[in-house]
Chains A and B, each alone.
Chain A
Amino acid sequence: MSQAASGYALAIDIGGTFTDVTLAHRASGRIWQIKVPTTPADPSQAFAQGIRRVLELAGIGAESIDGVFHGTTVATNAILERKGAVVGLITTEGCRYVLHIGRHDIAKDAYPYSWIRPERLVPPRRIREIPERLRADGTVECALDEAACTRALSELAPHKIESLAVCLLHSYANPVHEERVRALAASALPGVPCSISAEILPVFREYERTTATVLNAYVLPKVAGYHQRLEARLGEMAILAPLRIMKSNGGMYSARAAAQQPIHTALSGPAAAVVGAILVGETVGQRDVISIDVGGTSADICLSQGGQPAITGGGEISALPLNVPMVDVHTIGAGGGSIARIGANRSLTVGPQSAGAEPGPACYGRGGTEPTVTDANLVMGRSPAQLGRELSLDVALARRAILEAVAKPLGLSLEEAADGIVELLNNNMATAIRAVSVERGYDPRKFALVAGGGGGALHAARLAELLGIPLVVVPASAGLLSTLGLLATDLKTDFVQTVVQTSGAYDLEKLNATFASLERRAQAWFEAERVEPSTAMTVRTAGLRYVHQGYELTVRLDDAGASGRSSPLTDADVAALKARFHQEHERQYSWSSPSLAVELVNLGITAVGRLPKLTLSRRPKREELALPASSRTVYFGRAAGSIETPIYDFEALAPGWTVEGPAIVEQRFSTVLILPRHRASMDEYGNILMEVRQ
């Protein structure tokens, strides 16, 4: 069988608790899914175990696999837990303390009296300055002193550094000195990998660029080692298909490229869920979706428009700025395991402390006594007392925890307290949804809400009510949404070049030369990633702002009606770009002023290597009407009270099924809560669609 004809792909998403594996036959859309417990000490173990089990389940041989796609949290966890490499940093003379000083501010919402600065990833003793200087336009003001540089590098050797970062002033405009330092480091510090800022984040603002570069160096040895282990595991299983990793920007890159620039995996898992939500949205004809992915300790929220996820260049991770392109995911530190507490002044909080898997929510009966969101949902009857075959929950323990810790202190009934806990989480999520929609000038009422993760479908209907969203989509495999995303994306990378050009004085020649050079970099990348010319494509972008502003808006040339492909830029194109910028500024920020001067800040090319995509399969129709499997009393808040609610088994439902709320559908890995007054139905893909009545 030829590779193209076999068409099986594996998707593996590793989360904190579970490793999810989906095997898909892309053309037919047939899928097989497995969840195995994550093995934190060596995640590649669960990775291999999951693959073995899913191949058994499907009865497919290793030779039929032509692609392996992976969403990873190795880099994320190394940063969050501060368990990365010993990093050394080379910087321009005079800049040794740039990393320590940061932006000479304190965290938002903190007070200088009580704030403690987070420990820096590289202490000053492992930072060396070298004589060299570039100007802001990239020209050399003072040549690199190579002897001094070699000396500085050898001074770092006794510190047993495992990874080197290089960030020199203005290197975003010219990488020449950083590249030379890397060459010198290869002999002065043999075997130590080197990350240079001109490759990681070629954008002005030295603290943010240094931080991104240091973060890359910090996670590099761990990620590189991990990828080697993954490739070895795949080799043992005789899977020869290339291993590709999900990037934070929603695209893929090869495991080899990821080992060099691992920082682009900081949001690998959340990005996969966002792409999965887009895929699901398309099956119901919705290209504008807001996705929520509710897990045990956190909830991720993202907006996608026209089938593209929102991307930010101003994100952060673990209180550090990370300005590489990432899906604009808002993460709330609250999920099913989040603990509800009464603090000083009778204030109720939910999260960020989580009961985790151990001891887990009170209802797990493993010694947890503090009430969690899971306990609240259980007490109200919204989630089942039996989770699969393995886990039965203890309602009495959940009741006691909520009664003691929340209901009594606030003078509420048990149900009111449970509802309050869930309502607070829902409102926190609604605030995050507003942050990615209303704050960016998007009206959430024009979007569909796609619910994923173990807990998304329990909360989605209420979120939709709070935000006026008319439609909720719960995919057939809501609990494994991320793995669907891994099978539905392309190889993708972004190249950006700073070129400041003020209004009225555009140098078209220079702009075209810049695009040509970006185009060359894209071609080189296509070759490195072995992208067939027939599947390669590029999208041109420009960053614009009003003169004196500090932040630019990125406009796609094709959106602006300018030539999107490779034909040379014309005056008319620049005019179209400007017009589009005014429009976009008005939409996002509610004002624009055509009389103010507009400047072009950067040009960019997004290079895409199209991969074969999963086509979701249709669910067979059935003649007979599905009946509720059972019923139970569910609390729906003070106004609606307790209602005897029918419970449906998802496996028994078929396209065409409809129900008037309240109702509950129990899926294998998640629970769908349909509120009173809403109507739900199943479509031909097995999605449950909820029509939300305001």
Chain B
Amino acid sequence: MSTAAVDPIVIEIVKGALKACGDEMEAVMVRTSMSPFIREKGDHFSGLADRHARILYTTHDRSGPGMLETIFERYPPESMNPGDVYWVSDPYLLKGAISHTPDMCFIAPAFFGREIVGYSLCFGHFWDIGGSRPGSISPQATDIFQEGMSVPQVRIVDQGRLNDDLYRTILRNSRYPDMLEGDTRAMMAASRLGQTRMIELFERYGVQQVDAAFEALHRRSEHAVRKCIETNVRPGVYRFADYVDNDCVTDTSYRVEVEVAFDRDGVALVDCTGSDDQARGPINYLMHPDSCRMLFSRYLVSMDGTVHQNQGAYRAIGEVRLRSGSILQPVRPAPLGLRAHTLWRFANAVLGVFAQATQGKTPAGSPDYVIVIFNAVDAKPGEHFFCTDGIGAGQGARPYADGLDVIYVGTQKNYPIEFLESAYPMRVERYGIAPDSGGPGRYRGGVGVVRDYRIHAEKVVVATRMGNQQTPPWGVNGGRAGRSGRIVCNPGQPDERTVPGFAEGVMLKRGDLLRIVTCGGGGYGHPFEREPQRVLDDVLDGFVSREAAHSDYGVVLDETGLAVDEAATADERSALRPVAGMFDRGANFERLEAQRRRAGAAK
């Protein structure tokens, strides 16, 4: 397709219109959906694709590609009609374009005249779709059938008419059919809205101009990504590995490894075959090759800041090599519910590769998010009182700024305390920060959270999801690793006990207190290079303790605790302790690697 004729002004207008449309679809989902997951937490996605099913725009930066191909396998474009809406959620049919069962995807083709000119897509993480546990995700799942229903490619709306038989069948399989109805209505409304907006764009500028603008936007993103690589990356082959603490059903840790070959302005090969075999528990991450490419391009696009994350953005990422039966390419019916832990280790490994290729001009490592699931077992018969609370953690420091304190990666929102307490039998007695959890550095890693829940029901069963206890997020260029989190029941009481990071069936009774302390991000640069005033500020605001200011940063405060003792600090810092190597991987990483080598040699 020629782009010579495209008006540069039309490109800008089309770019703005795509974003506005994505935002509008999102607003409908948030305002009218019912799952707290979607409306409070924001676990949803909307996007638009061109006539060739290439993603043009997404509101979230790690989903989208690959969904349409799956629909086409059953319903090729020539079989589609105006007014159709398609539904799919089966992760294996989707080859990982959606990577666990609760994310339900809706797609609507946009017809201009008699031809399809594009598609609108959206998904939301649904509250409950059946399976072994309320919420459909369990750390104990050992196959995908325990994780609720999978919807294959179906035409849920046929030329404007809802397929009611199918709809009722699906709703019947949820513990919360009303919520499922509200959520699916919101998704279908959003996908139809995207369809309408796309058609309006074609009405306004005509097929030729809009198609040409789409192509120009793909090329612009590709150009930005290539330029980013060319400017920053030293061509060569780099490898990085990280660990998922365990697979929830055994105590074996799982290794994720990626080896990347960069050429001058692109990635020639992403080799993931060195990663471990698939797990018995639900940490398997079924990675679509395009999802892998997107994890590369999201970092590169973030460095540019002016282009959309679209299919053009990952044209510069070449072959993705995956090994069937591995943790990144599991075979059905392996469970997938907790794949986020493996996904985020992989995304961090990509950053680790970039760190080596750019002499450390990248953010330090970040931990996974943390989730706690509460099930009130004394609810009335027929009621399943349950709550899934997502908790943020500290993010890696940047070469120019501190890491972000308490962020839920994946850009989602927390539940307000006032929402939790009005809806569930619990009190949140503390929602604060975890002092000293951020990796020390010239730029400090972000701190994690302390969140205390007091149980107000007779009996509650808790499941937990917290990674990074074995290998915390690494520090870069002299920065230290972040500090791991922990989960404790009744801290400071005679019956105090530690709860594992991946646990199911933890019994709590009325009056018990569950404390979640989450991990901090890695630091950047040597902590002795941090300005003493900023260390003091961190002490005054509670992010760093006075003791850690001394031991980690070499900053001594005077007796008031309100000022830096300049002389003592200079003295302390004169003994600058050099840090060897690009990364600080924390205390356990080398031990795990050595175990792995021994096991390999034994084979």
Residues of A at under 8 Å CB distance from B?
A: 93-98, 100-101, 103-106, 108-117, 123-125, 133, 135-136, 169-170, 172, 204-207, 343-349, 410, 412, 419-420, 423-424, 427-428, 431, 434-435, 438-439, 466, 500, 546-551, 585, 588-591, 593, 596-597
Contact = CB atoms under 8 A, between A and B. Distances in A.
Contacts of B220: 345-347
Given A104-B408, A550-B36, A136 B42 contact: no
Interface string B201-219: 0001000000000000000
A205 B8 contact: no
A111 B298 contact: yes
B208 to A, nearest CB: 15
Given A105-B42, A549-B33, A549-B34, A435 B13 contact: no
For B9, B20, B220, B411, the residue with the greatest tally of chain A CB atoms inside 10 Å of its CB is B9
Nearest to B392: A104
B305 A114 contact: yes
B194 to A, nearest CB: 12
A589 B30 CA distance: 11
A457 B182 CA distance: 44
Interface string B375-408: 0000000000000000110010010010011111
Contacts of A124: 541-542
A135 B406 CA distance: 26
A346 B8 contact: yes
A551 to B, nearest CB: 5
Interface stretch (B275-283, B426-434, B469-477): B426-434
Interface of B: 8-9, 11-13, 15-17, 19-20, 23-24, 27-28, 30-36, 39-40, 42, 61, 178-179, 181-182, 185-186, 188-189, 192-193, 204, 220, 223-224, 227, 298-299, 301-307, 363, 366, 391-392, 395, 398, 401, 404-409, 411-414, 416-419, 421-422, 427-433, 449, 452, 540-542
Contact of A549 (B19, B32, B412, B540): B32
B413 A104 contact: yes
Given A106-B407, A596-B178, A431 B306 contact: no
Contact of A589 (B23, B28, B179): B28
B35 A205 contact: no
Given A103-B413, A104-B406, A439-B24, A550 B16 contact: no
A412 B404 CA distance: 43
A136 B40 contact: no
Contacts of B305: 114
A97 B433 contact: yes
Nearest to B188: A591
A32 B109 CA distance: 57
B412 A105 contact: yes
B39 A95 contact: no
B302 A114 contact: yes
Given A105-B407, A113-B299, A345-B307, A98 B431 contact: yes
B542 A591 contact: no
A105 B224 contact: no
B21 to A, nearest CB: 9
B414 A101 contact: yes
Nearest to B421: A136
A345 B193 CA distance: 30
Given A104-B407, A344-B224, A346-B8, A593 B431 contact: no
B8 A420 contact: yes
B398 A114 contact: yes
A661 B379 CA distance: 72
Nearest to B221: A345
A496 to B, nearest CB: 15
Contacts of A434: 20, 24
10 contacts: A94-B431, A96-B432, A97-B406, A112-B411, A133-B427, A410-B8, A439-B27, A547-B178, A549-B34, A596-B178
A412 B8 contact: yes
Contacts of B24: 434-435, 438-439
B17 A431 contact: yes
Contact of B422 (A98, A117, A204, A546): A204
8 closest A-B pairs by beta carbon, nearest first, are: A111-B302, A548-B34, A94-B430, A104-B392, A136-B422, A550-B39, A420-B9, A103-B413
A424 B418 contact: no
Nearest to B61: A111
A113 B431 contact: no
A204 B423 CA distance: 12
A333 to B, nearest CB: 13
A141 to B, nearest CB: 8
B541 A169 contact: no
B209 to A, nearest CB: 12
Nearest to B393: A104
Contact of A112 (B9, B407, B429, B449): B407
B419 A204 contact: yes
Contacts of B179: 548
Contacts of A589: 28, 31-32, 186, 189
B13 A427 contact: yes
Contacts of A135: 421
A593 B32 CA distance: 11
Contacts of B449: 101, 104
A491 to B, nearest CB: 31
B20 A345 contact: no
Nearest to A406: B8
Nearest to B15: A347
Nearest to B433: A97
A344 B61 contact: no
A106 B404 contact: yes
B187 to A, nearest CB: 10
A238 to B, nearest CB: 51
* Interface core residue of A95, A125, A420, A549 (most chain B CB under 10 Å): A549
Contacts of A207: 416
B418 A551 contact: no
B414 A104 contact: yes
Given A115-B404, A346-B8, A423-B13, A103 B540 contact: no
B39 A590 contact: no
Contacts of A345: 220, 223-224, 304, 306-307
A125 B544 CA distance: 13
A116 B304 CA distance: 16
A681 to B, nearest CB: 28
B189 A112 contact: no
B433 A101 contact: yes
A589 B178 CA distance: 18
B32 A347 contact: no
A348 B11 CA distance: 9
Given A101-B433, A103-B413, A106-B404, 16 more contacts: A95-B431, A105-B413, A124-B541, A344-B224, A344-B227, A345-B304, A427-B16, A428-B16, A434-B24, A438-B24, A550-B36, A589-B31, A589-B32, A589-B186, A591-B188, A593-B181
B416 A206 contact: yes
B411 A105 contact: yes
Contacts of A101: 392, 405-406, 414, 431, 433, 449
Nearest to B417: A206
Q: Which of A101, A113, A439 has the most CB of B within 10 A?
A: A113
Given A94-B429, A100-B433, A549-B182, A125 B540 contact: yes
Nearest to A466: B204
Contact of A548 (B15, B178, B401, B431): B178
Nearest to A342: B8
A206 B431 CA distance: 12
B306 A347 contact: yes
A95 B417 contact: yes
A349 B19 CA distance: 15
A125 B12 contact: no
Nearest to A422: B9
A439 to B, nearest CB: 5
